[in-house]
Amino acid sequence: MGHDAHAEPEKKPGKLGLLGKAYLPAIAQGLLHTLGHIVKWDHNTLNYPDEKRAPFPGYRGEHRLTRDEQGREKCVACFMCSTVCPAHCIEIVAEEAPWPDREKRPKIFNIDMMRCIYCGMCEWACPCEAIELTEVFNIPVRTRAEKIYDKERLLSN
């Protein structure tokens, strides 16, 4: 253990009397402190999952594909999200859109949630505001395959 020049000199504990050596006052002090909290009832623990904490603004949870005012997915399959994704967890296969005002849409849009690192760069890269991260964070599943979200699953998030 090396001592560097800026370290504070070690504090030497004061001399303890007989009472101090018995630690009884300190124990009583601690119990009183705990009792005070019980009486005040201002604890921070939540009874999760019965109670849920409101996520902080900007929390990055599971993805969602958004819809336009006609209920169609906004995504135009430009591959910007899959290009920027550092975890390579987005798989897109494009197809021709059946609508007259749009050219391209995703035929397949899969996100591997097990690979995703929830960095939010897909949301940042999207030119159409079609993908965004929601505040959903607690979706346990039984198999890995269920964690590969397809287009329908992402649209319903």
Partner 1 sequence: MSDSGAGMVSWVLNGDPVESPAGMTILEAAKAHGAELPHFCYHPGLSIAGNCRICLVETNRSPKPAISCSERISDGLEVQTHSEKAVEAREGVMEFQLINHPLDCPVCDKAGECTLQDYSFDHGPDESRFVEKKNIRHTKDLGPTIKIWGNRCIVCTRCIRFCDEISGTGELCVVARGDRSVVDVFPGIPIDNPLAGNVVDICPVGALISKDFMFQSRVWNNEHTETVCGGCARGCNVTVETNEGFVKRLMPRENTDVNDWWMCDFGRYGWRYAHDDRRVSVPRRGAEAVETELEAHRDLGELVRGAWGGSKKVAIVVDPFLTCEEAHLVGRVAAGTGATVGGWLPPSGDELTFPGKFKISGEKCPNRRGVEAVLGQEVFGSQAKAVESMLNSGGVDLVIVFAGFPNADCPDALASAVGKATARVAFTLFDGAWSEAADLVLPSASVFEKEGTYVNEDGRLQRVRSKDRPGDAQLAQPGLHSASISSPWVTSELVALQRALVHVGDAERSLSAAGVFRQLADSNEHFKGQSHRGIPATGVPLGGLAPAGVGEGSES
Q: Where on the chain is the footprint of partner 1 (CB under 8 A)? A: 76-80, 83, 91, 93-96, 103-104, 108, 110, 127-128
Toward partner 1, which CB reaches closer, 27 or 128? 128
For 33-101, what is the HEC assignment?
HHHHHHHHCCCCCCCCCCCCCCCCCCCCCCEEECECCCCCECCCCCCHHHHHCCCCCEEEEEEECCCCC
For partner 1, give the closer residue by CB, 92 or 116. 92
CA within 13 Å, CB half, 12 = 2
Q: Are 98 and 85 in contact (CB under 8 A)?
A: no
User: How many whole angstroms separate alpha carbon 100 and alpha carbon 102?
Assistant: 6
